[in-house]
Each structure stands twice: as structure tokens, then as C-alpha cells.
């Protein structure tokens, strides 16, 4: 990696050091929650004309290579992909094989997220086909970046932040390559039909609206119209049919797994009891549920409580799973508002149930819209890799400094009315409640409750919650006390990460596009 001599750094409102220029683009430092107002107009794509598109609506090209050529692929372009195929994605690797074959270099790869299956692309980071990655790096590619090997800086954005960056014109996409489990030759596409059915395609929505060139790649071509059109053909330039988009078994799991760990089940029980005693669980309430083991266990417990108290939710935000769809079918919620489907039953329900609604980062998370859904949630349950005594949290790096996770919708969800972090108090004998998070992703003022198997810490800012819980049987404790206990169990504080503070390998954006923290290379 080149040295970074010309980059200036500043201390942001959270006390973190961040660069002022990232990959040549000026980015403001974090100013505090709700302190930064944008002063710009939205991205303004070139006006197109039907003259330049086939009047019969047939935009099919024989293969991806032809499509990339037609898009005028050049060195240094920005190419986006999306993670709705998750670890079953077979397209992105083929895409970069094709780019390599065409002799193109220095691509800015702008995925909504990358997974282990994309470790294949490390060779293209090494040979200069890919200059750098702007997007969540789960696993191997995050590790690669952490080792200081990536040429440019990584930019990590939340799902909402990514939509915002596209909409705001902060990231100009030259070519969006959208994997579509079902599409017609005009480019209308969805993720609910076809052998690679994955659920919503919302992660690709912004790209389809603002990219210069949009290529739909599908392994299930249907006659026009492909309905529903999660992606609208009116935004699409070319359509390519391929044999397979990837491995259906890894695109969605057959079933999602509830945790069997006693500690995690205990955490789930605490969450459910908390939500009930804090009087959040009441008729017409709403919550966000993920697909993690604790979350699913919590969901099943909450479901029983709702049934026994006769409480019905107005809506549940997914990541949908079979557990969520069962609640919809049993009448425990009016709607599922779904951003991604984690298992097969989630996909099927989205396809068949008109109360299971497709959403996107635009509707749910975009902070630069006229409001979004995230702040309307009564309660959200999230995870974290670390939290500190001020409730600040980290979701991207581990305590050893390695960047191994993306932000997902995590930052966006912090705007919910009650934000609960559900975390085991230590992992692999590494305490999770630290003195200072390795990487700051979410300001403590937005995090209301931390629930561990050793007790529950309510943010002192939430006097209302503390009052409601004043007679509770729940193990409410000071966060400092939980930390102390865990330090004793684990033999002290976690070892400080060995970071090269002169080498920023990635930056973390806040939802408004300001920089909330830097990720540093780990010394070998």
C-alpha cells in the first residue's frame, strides 16, 4: 500500500481521527447526531431517449462481455454489485473475470456488501483490476484490507448510507450489474421467482435509478411483463441471460436457526421480558427482527407473550424468516415490511402474501429523504462486536482490529425509538464491553439498552425506561459493573489491537455521509 502523506486528518465531534479526503473526494467529519445538514442537490443522470432503446422492448445481449463493452467499460470506472444473493453469489466473480479478460484496470468496486465467496476476487485486488472496494467487507476481503494491502481506502456505509451516497451524487456509478432471479427482456426484474429467488432486490434500487449504465443479469428470463418489478426496466440498458446466478443453497438457507446456546437463550429471554415490561409490546406496536440466533429466539418468546396477552403488531420489519412469516399468517402482525429474505419461507411469503411488503433502503433507511421508516420502529434489537461504557458501539472490527463485518442497516436502525443491543458479554474469552471501542460505528446517545447474559444496562439518558423498569425482576445493572465482572472472568481487559495509526485502510461513514471513524491497518 502506498503511503498516505498528502492526506490531512481531523478530530471529529466524537473525538475520532478521520481523513478529510477519501480516494480524492472531500468528506466532512462527523458533526454529532442530527447536526449535519446537506447543502447540495441530488445526482442528476443524463436524460435518455427512447430513440436509443429497442422499440420492441428487447434489450437482450448475448453475454456479459458484450454488455460491458456496450456500456463503454473503461479503466477507473465504478462498478456496483449487490449482495442479495449473499454467499451464493456466482455472478460477481464472473463479472470480474470478464473485466480482467477485457484488460481493464483500477475499477472502484461498489458492492452493497461482499461475502466469503468473493475471496476469489483477492487476486484482482492484487493485480490492479480492482483498485479498491467501497462497501461492506465481510470476512476475507475485510481481512485483506486490514492487512493494509488494498490500494485505495475502503468506505463503509450503512444500507441507507449507500442509497444516500448514490442519490446525493457522492458516488457516481458507471455500470451497475444487477443479479436478477427473474427478469424480462425489457429489464423489469424481481427476486421472488426463479431458481435463484432471494427476496427483495432493494439494495440495487438506487443503482438502477442513478447509474449511467444498468445491466440486468438473470438466470430466469420471463416474457414481458416480469411482475412485480422490484427493478424497473425503464431504468435498464441491457439484459443478459446466464445459465446460473449462483448456488441456490447459499442464496437463501433452507431454514434459519434459533440459537441453542444457554447464554444466548437467556439474553433472548431478557429482551422479551424487557420489551414487555417497558410497555413497548402493545397493540399496534412495531419492531425490527433480524435473523441472528438470539434474534430468532427472542422472536419466538415475544410471539408467545403477544399471543398470551392478545397483542397484535401493526408491522414487523424484516429480514424475513419463517418465524416472521408465521407471525403474519397467525395474525400477530398486519404487515411484514421486508428488506431482505433470509430463508426460503421468507421469499415465498413475499411472493404470495400481499401483506408481506417489499421495501428498499430508500423507504426504510435513507437519511437524506423526507423521513424514513427506521425512526418509526418502537423497538429494534441489534448486535455489536464491542460497546464501551458510554454505550458507543462497534459492528465492523473485532478487538484485534480486524475489519470482518459490514454495517448493514445497523446505523440506520439506531434511529428506532428503543434500540437494544443484544450481546454476549464475552466472545472467545474476549470481553465485549470495553473502555473504548476499536471502531466507532454508532454514538452511545442512540443506544438505549445493552442486554447481556450477565445483566441489562439501560443508558442513563433513558430515564423513562429506567422508571418503567424500576420494579422489574430483570437484572438491571450499571454497565461498569457488568464490565468489571467480565474483566474478572476473562483475566482483564482485551489486549489492545496492534494498529498502524499512520495507515487508514477504511473509513466509516455516518448515515449523513460524515466520517465517524477510521479503520487502521493491523500490524503483522
Q: Which residues bind its own copies (CB under 8 A)?
A: 34, 36-57, 59, 167-168, 186-187, 214, 223-225, 227-229, 232-237, 284, 314-315, 335, 337, 354-355, 357, 362-363, 366-373, 375-376, 415, 417, 512
Q: How far is the CB of 502 from its own copies (least distance, A)?
A: 34
d(CA 37, CA 516): 15
d(CA 218, CA 178): 8
Q: Which is nearer to its own copies, 242 or 357 (CB)?
A: 357
d(CA 59, CA 78): 22
Q: How far is the CB of 248 from its own copies (least distance, A)?
A: 24
> Contact 43/49 with Cβ under 8 angstroms?
no
CA dist list (Å): 144 to 150, 282, 331, 522: 7, 46, 46, 10
Q: Which is nearer to its own copies, 92 or 360 (CB)?
A: 360
Contacts of 242 (CB under 8 A, 6+ apart): 63, 64, 91, 94, 217, 218, 219
Q: How far is the CB of 315 from its own copies (least distance, A)?
A: 6
Q: How far is the CB of 376 from its own copies (least distance, A)?
A: 4
d(CA 279, CA 264): 23
Q: How far is the CB of 124 from its own copies (least distance, A)?
A: 29
Contacts of 399 (CB under 8 A, 6+ apart): 385, 386, 430, 434, 438, 494, 495, 497
- β pairing state of 515-522 and 499-509: antiparallel
Q: Which is nearer to its own copies, 169 or 424 (CB)?
A: 169
> Contact 434/392 with Cβ under 8 angstroms?
no
> DSSP 3-state assignment of 245?
coil
Q: Which is nearer to its own copies, 172 or 250 (CB)?
A: 172
> Contact 406/137 with Cβ under 8 angstroms?
yes
Q: Which is nearer to its own copies, 262 or 354 (CB)?
A: 354
Residue 10 has phi, psi (to 5 degrees) of -135, 160
Q: How far is the CB of 204 from its own copies (least distance, A)?
A: 15
C-alpha cell at 466: 429506567
Q: How far is the CB of 369 from its own copies (least distance, A)?
A: 4
Q: How far is the CB of 281 from its own copies (least distance, A)?
A: 17
Q: Which residue has the cell 426460503?
A: 344
Q: Which is nearer to its own copies, 75 or 234 (CB)?
A: 234
Q: Which is nearer to its own copies, 208 or 438 (CB)?
A: 208
Angle (deg, nearest 10), helices 262-277 and 293-309: 40
C-alpha cell at 155: 468506505
Amino acid at each position: 500500500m502506498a503511503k498516505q502523506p498528502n492526506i490531512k486528518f481531523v478530530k471529529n465531534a466524537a473525538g475520532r481521527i478521520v481523513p478529510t479526503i477519501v480516494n480524492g473526494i472531500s468528506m466532512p467529519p462527523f458533526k454529532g447526531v442530527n447536526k449535519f445538514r446537506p447543502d447540495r442537490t441530488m445526482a442528476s443522470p443524463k436524460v435518455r431517449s427512447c430513440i436509443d432503446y429497442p422499440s420492441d422492448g428487447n434489450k437482450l445481449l448475448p453475454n456479459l462481455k458484450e454488455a460491458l463493452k456496450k456500456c463503454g467499460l473503461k479503466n477507473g470506472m465504478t462498478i456496483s454489485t449487490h449482495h442479495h444473493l449473499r454467499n451464493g453469489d456466482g455472478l460477481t466473480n464472473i463479472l470480474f473475470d470478464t473485466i480482467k479478460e477485457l484488460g481493464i484496470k483500477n475499477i472502484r468496486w461498489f458492492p452493497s456488501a461482499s461475502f466469503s465467496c468473493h475471496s476469489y476476487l483477492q487476486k484482482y485486488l492484487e493485480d490492479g483490476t480492482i483498485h479498491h472496494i467501497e462497501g461492506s467487507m465481510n470476512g476475507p476481503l475485510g481481512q485483506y484490507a486490514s492487512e493494509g494491502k488494498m490500494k485505495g481506502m475502503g468506505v463503509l456505509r450503512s444500507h441507507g448510507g449507500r442509497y444516500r451516497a448514490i442519490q446525493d451524487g457522492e458516488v457516481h456509478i458507471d455500470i451497475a450489474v444487477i443479479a436478477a432471479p427473474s427478469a424480462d427482456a425489457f429489464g423489469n426484474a424481481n427476486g421472488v421467482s426463479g431458481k435463484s429467488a432471494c427476496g427483495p432486490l432493494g439494495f440495487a434500487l438506487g443503482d438502477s435509478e442513478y447509474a449511467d449504465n444498468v445491466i440486468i443479469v438473470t438466470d430466469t428470463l420471463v416474457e414481458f411483463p416480469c411482475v412485480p418489478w422490484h427493478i424497473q426496466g425503464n431504468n435498464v440498458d441491457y439484459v443478459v441471460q446466464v445459465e446460473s446466478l449462483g448456488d441456490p443453497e447459499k442464496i437463501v438457507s433452507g431454514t434459519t436457526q434459533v440459537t441453542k446456546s444457554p447464554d444466548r437463550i437467556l439474553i433472548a429471554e431478557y429482551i422479551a421480558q424487557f420489551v414487555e415490561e417497558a410497555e413497548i409490546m402493545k397493540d399496534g406496536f412495531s419492531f425490527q427482527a433480524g435473523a441472528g440466533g438470539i434474534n430468532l429466539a427472542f422472536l419466538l418468546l415475544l410471539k408467545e407473550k403477544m399471543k398470551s396477552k392478545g397483542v397484535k403488531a401493526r408491522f414487523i420489519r424484516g429480514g424475513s424468516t419463517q418465524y416472521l412469516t408465521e407471525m403474519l399468517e397467525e395474525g400477530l402482525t398486519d404487515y411484514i415490511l421486508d428488506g431482505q429474505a433470509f430463508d426460503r419461507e421468507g421469499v415465498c411469503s413475499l411472493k404470495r402474501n400481499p401483506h408481506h411488503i417489499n421495501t428498499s433502503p430508500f423507504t426504510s433507511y435513507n437519511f437524506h429523504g423526507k423521513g424514513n421508516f427506521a425512526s418509526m420502529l418502537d423497538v429494534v434489537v441489534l448486535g455489536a462486536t464491542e460497546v464501551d461504557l458510554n454505550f458507543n458501539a462497534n459492528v465492523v472490527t473485532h478487538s484485534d482490529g480486524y475489519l470482518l463485518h459490514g454495517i448493514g442497516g445497523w446505523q440506520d436502525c439506531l434511529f428506532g425509538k428503543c434500540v437494544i443491543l443484544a450481546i454476549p458479554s464475552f466472545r472467545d474469552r474476549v470481553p465485549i464491553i470495553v473502555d473504548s471501542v476499536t471502531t466507532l460505528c454508532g454514538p452511545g446517545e442512540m443506544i438505549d439498552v445493552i442486554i447481556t447474559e450477565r445483566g441489562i444496562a439501560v443508558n442513563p439518558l433513558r430515564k423513562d425506561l429506567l422508571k418503567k423498569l424500576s420494579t422489574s425482576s430483570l437484572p438491571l445493572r450499571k454497565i461498569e459493573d457488568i464490565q468489571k465482572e467480565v474483566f474478572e472472568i476473562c483475566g482483564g481487559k482485551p489486549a489492545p489491537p496492534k494498529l498502524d495509526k499512520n495507515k487508514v485502510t477504511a473509513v466509516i461513514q455516518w448515515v449523513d455521509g460524515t466520517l465517524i471513524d477510521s479503520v487502521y491497518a493491523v500490524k503483522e
